[in-house]
Amino acid sequence: MHLRRKPSSRWSRDQRRAAIAVLLSAAMIEIRALASRPDRSNHPEGHLAEIRLIADVCHNLPGADQPRPVGEYDGLVYTWQTANDFQRSWLRKHFAQAGIDTAFLEQAPLLPRPATAPDTRPTWKHWQFPRDPKAFIAVNSMTLANLVRRAQAVEHHDPTYGPVRTAFIEWFLDHLHPDGRHILRLSRQDETQFRPDGPGDLRQYRALVIMSDGALIVDHPRLRATDVAALPSNLFLLRRLQLAAVPPRGRERDAGLWARHHRATHPACRDWTVLNTPDDA
């Protein structure tokens, strides 16, 4: 597979799909191999850290072949420029093995801040006709944590990766702002669905979440629809109309990006199970 073009050229959609397929396939194979053979790890912090870094660098690849609206970041350039040294080396290795020229990524203009807080109010220049205002509700941190844990109780957990994901979710919930007021609504059909519905009444929601440091981020938890439907409608109509009029955009700071920044700026906050599960656990 060869994707060689002039250094300044952008990759075509077919080339993007090919590059993404190379990386996702390699990630699946290597994560599976590391899970079964931890001794194969090349990372100084062990196989779990390596698994996390591979999964993290591939997080935004699904859908990165789609055309981007004017002004939005290129998904592949974003992945390249936000990768750390280990991840960049991993990307180079697999691109080189597939004969993919990385000049387009290496010579792309530097992006500004890779992601910003999600919008909570429309502006005169950026708004849409309000869509389903009644879907928006507000919850405090205790309620959000309870909703997530009730959903986790009915999830089908993978025996290999389930404990790692559960550990991250608990770490994330522990870092919600104690006085946070978070916004929930059911994800729409035209939005990216990270997992299919079910089992039971599990559905993906869009959440505007306030973290322990006051940062506002977007998350996409799977919650039980009956649990959410049982919550009281506690937002004034004007506030729900404002939220429903906010147009979508693709540069929102999500849970993974916040966690990466938090771990980098709070090195002592690394005592979560994902990084400390014994190899023989």
Q: Which segment of 5-14, 16-25, 239-248 scores lowest on mean pLDDT?
A: 5-14
User: What does the pLDDT average to over 179-189?
Assistant: 95
Please, are residues 271 and 42 in contact by the beta-carbon 8 Å criterion?
no
User: What does the pLDDT average to over 149-176?
Assistant: 87
Sign of CA pseudo-dihedral 42, 43, 44, 45 = negative
Residues 6+ apart with CB under 8 A from 197: 203, 204
Residue 205 has φ and ψ, to the nearest 5°, of -120, 155
pLDDT band of 272, cuts 50, 70, 90: low
Task: Please report the pLDDT score of residue 108 as a whole number.
Answer: 87
The structure's pTM equals 0.63
**Helical ranges in the chain per DSSP H:** 13-36, 47-57, 75-82, 85-97, 103-106, 141-154, 162-174, 225-229, 237-244, 255-265, 273-276
56-to-59, 88, 93, 174, 190 alpha-carbon distances in Å: 5, 12, 17, 21, 24
Helices 75-82 and 85-97 pack at an angle, to 10 degrees, of 130
DSSP code for 268: T
